Amino acid sequence: VQLQASGGGLVQAGDSLRLSCSASGRTSSSYVMSWFRQAPGKEREFVAGISISGSWNGGNTNYADSVKGRFTISRENAKNTVHLQMNSLKPEDTAVYYCALSLSGNIVTTIEGRYRYWGQGTLVTVSS
């Protein structure tokens, strides 16, 4: 499985940005795709995730408290793609964002070690 992330960039506080992550290769019928981020000098942390099962475009979601109400994760099953819509961005959202895939069914885990596949990361910079 390979993950390709895109959509990062430089924005101002209050702006919006959408990240996308496309998965290619063999996956199971049920899996989870999530976004993590790592700010300079900090550990990588869970941001948001969504479970994927069959052709249904819904799914269980989970968000970090710091992004609830501002970020929305969604999926396009036909394209094996997950989007992270980020609104009302803050300088503290500045980080390298990584998409990750877990084969652990429909449980949107926040535990980094449960994710076997990782994308290359895309930088999001929010200026004040």
At 67-105, the pLDDT tens digits run: 999 999 998 877 789 999 999 999 999 999 999 999 877
122-127 vs 9-12, strand pairing mode: parallel
Identify which of 6, 2, 4, 3 has the alpha carbon closest to the alpha carbon of residue 124.
6
In degrees, rounded to 5, the angle at the alpha carbon of residue 43 between the alpha carbons of residues 11 and 91 is 20
At 1-27, the pLDDT tens digits run: 899 999 999 999 999 999 999 998 877
In the chain, alpha helices (H): none
pLDDT at 56 over 80: no
- Tokens coding 12: 């101002």
Mean pLDDT of 100-128: 93
